[in-house]
């Protein structure tokens, strides 16, 4: 199947009892057994739920993986992934990453004996400098949040395999519409399904997708034992959102390109971060591992003044000032005080995230209205 057909058909099937074309919401906590241990594959809905099963199968199919596991949020998915490790283990992560990831690494898991190195991965070779006998995981975001840095997944995989280290990729910004990290050799893919995969700003959920059977079994144990699983209503909403992922992403990319070019040519804008520009760092890598460049854009105004940035954010009409991204509606945000506030200011500045950076999640509205909104806000 081609990708657009996969989003609608892969991993799902009509309900065998009724023929319902949409997966039913199995709103039940438990399942009747014929005899102790003699059941139809379902015992308790924290462990398995038929609605969640079909969603997990669909996600695995879209990422060209064998196993999908859903969690109550993207952070719950990351939490499960880190629980694969033991005290004394070390993780190498990109230094430009989502603030929530940084927070759970440094404020939660560091207290349990794990060590984290936050480094620039723009040159994949830099990763090798931080590897030692305790390194057990390389954690990659690409494009990164919020500076849209591009990391060469295949090059990072080569280093990870050389040292027998797990490599995970946060694929939230790109989605499998733009890139499939498992095909490039990654061991694990994570999504905040809240964003593009759901696409309608009405559900919070996360997922992990893997190929390795043993890794899937270990993660499934953690999923059930820790219990951070989503309910069937949320799984139903995600299944519905997935069916339009390909057409939404196409429009996000088209609008994103138009907005990026508009901002780059605007007299009040100093710098635009968007991997589709030929002068963007690692643009050629992006062209190699992505089929397009997405709808996430960040920019800095001339003068790099935080108050000017805040005034601009307050003036938007169609770009709503809100946390999150990837919905059909356009959003704007101020990473330094919103999504990345949990990262110390000196660390943010060291990674290139200034106090005046504005991040846009370009939606699927008519592009003329979005450009007009940008013009009036900037002026």
The active-site residue, picked from 52, 79, 98, 373, is 98
Q: pLDDT at position 36, please? A: 94
Give the pLDDT mean for 222-234: 98
Give the pLDDT mean for 274-279: 98
Q: Is 98 a catalytic residue?
A: yes
| Contact assessment for residue 244 and residue 199, using Cβ atoms and an 8 Å cutoff | yes
Q: pLDDT at position 343, please? A: 86
The CA distance from 171 to 144, in Å, is 9
Residue 150 CA to its chain's centroid (Å): 14
Answering whether pTM is above 0.85, one says yes
Q: Which residues of 73-88 are buried (b: 16+ CB within 10 A; e: fewer)?
A: bbbbbbbbbbbbbeee
The active-site residue, picked from 170, 234, 292, 373, is 170
Q: Is 46 a catalytic residue?
A: yes
The active-site residue, picked from 195, 248, 257, 359, is 195
Q: pLDDT per residue over 164-177, tens digit each?
A: 999 999 999 999 99
Q: pLDDT per residue over 304-342, tens digit each?
A: 889 999 999 999 999 999 999 999 999 999 999 898 888
Q: Which residues contact 295 (CB under 8 A, 6 or more apart)?
A: 249, 252, 253, 255, 256, 326, 361, 362, 363
The CA distance from 144 to 125, in Å, is 18
Q: pLDDT per residue over 336-379, tens digit each?
A: 989 888 888 888 888 888 899 999 999 999 999 999 999 999 99
Q: pLDDT per residue over 238-271, tens digit each?
A: 999 999 999 999 999 999 999 999 999 999 999 9
* Residue 79, phi-psi category: left (phi > 0), alpha (psi -120 to 50), beta (remainder): alpha
Q: pLDDT at position 210, please? A: 98
% of the chain residues with pLDDT over 90: 93
The active-site residue, picked from 15, 31, 46, 288, is 46
Between 32 and 349, the more confident residue is: 32
| Contact assessment for residue 215 and residue 201, using Cβ atoms and an 8 Å cutoff | no
% of the chain residues with pLDDT over 70: 100
pLDDT surpasses 90 at 86:
yes
* Residue 22, phi-psi category: left (phi > 0), alpha (psi -120 to 50), beta (remainder): beta
Residue holding tokens 């109550």?
72
Give the pLDDT mean for 292-305: 95
For residue 146, name the pLDDT band (cuts at 50, 70, 90): very high
Q: pLDDT at position 360, please? A: 98
Q: pLDDT at position 304, please? A: 85
Q: pLDDT at position 350, please? A: 84
> In the predicted model, what is the mean pLDDT of the chain?
96
Q: pLDDT per residue over 106-130, tens digit each?
A: 999 999 999 999 999 999 999 999 9
Q: In the numeric block, which tokens belong to residue 286?
A: 């992006």
Q: pLDDT per residue over 200-217, tens digit each?
A: 999 999 999 999 999 999
pLDDT surpasses 90 at 45:
yes
Give the pLDDT mean for 9-28: 94
Domains of the chain: 10-240 (3.40.640.10), 245-378 (3.90.1150.10)
Q: At what angle do helices 306-315 and 367-378 cross, to 10 degrees?
A: 140
Q: pLDDT at position 346, please? A: 87
């Amino acid at each position: 199947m081609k990708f657009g057909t996969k989003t609608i058909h892969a991993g799902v099937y009509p309900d065998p009892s009724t023929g319902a074309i949409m997966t039913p919401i199995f709103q039940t906590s438990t399942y009747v057994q014929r005899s102790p241990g003699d059941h139809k594959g379902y015992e308790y809905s924290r462990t398995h739920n038929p609605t969640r099963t079909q969603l997990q199968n669909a996600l695995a199919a879209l990422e060209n993986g064998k196993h999908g596991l859903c969690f109550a949020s993207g952070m719950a998915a990351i939490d499960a992934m880190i629980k694969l490790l033991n005290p004394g283990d070390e993780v190498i992560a990109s230094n430009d990453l989502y603030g929530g990831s940084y927070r759970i690494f440094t404020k939660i898991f560091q207290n349990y004996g794990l060590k984290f190195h936050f480094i620039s991965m723009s040159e994949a070779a830099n990763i090798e400098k931080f590897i030692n006998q305790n390194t057990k995981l390389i954690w990659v975001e690409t494009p990164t949040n919020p500076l849209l840095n591009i990391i060469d997944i295949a090059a990072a995989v080569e280093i990870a395999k050389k040292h027998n280290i797990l490599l995970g990729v946060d694929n939230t910004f790109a989605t499998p519409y733009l890139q499939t990290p498992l095909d490039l050799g990654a061991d694990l893919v994570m999504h905040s399904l809240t964003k593009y995969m759901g696409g309608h700003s009405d559900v919070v959920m996360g997922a992990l997708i893997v190929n390795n059977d043993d890794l899937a079994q270990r993660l499934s144990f953690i999923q059930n034992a820790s219990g951070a699983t989503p309910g069937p209503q949320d799984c139903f909403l995600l299944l519905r959102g997935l069916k339009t992922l390909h057409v939404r992403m196409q429009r996000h990319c088209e609008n994103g390109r138009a907005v990026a070019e508009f901002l780059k040519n605007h007299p009040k804008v100093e710098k635009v971060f968007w991997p589709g520009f030929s002068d963007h760092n690692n643009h050629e890598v992006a062209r190699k591992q992505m089929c397009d460049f997405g709808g996430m854009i960040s920019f800095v105004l001339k003068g790099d003044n935080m108050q000017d940035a805040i005034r601009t954010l307050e003036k938007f009409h169609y770009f709503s000032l809100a946390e999150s991204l990837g919905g059909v509606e356009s959003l704007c945000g101020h990473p330094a005080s919103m999504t990345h506030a949990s990262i110390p200011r000196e660390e943010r500045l060291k990674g290139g995230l200034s106090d005046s950076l504005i991040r846009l999640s370009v939606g699927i509205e008519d592009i003329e209205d979005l450009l007009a909104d940008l013009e009036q806000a900037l002026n």
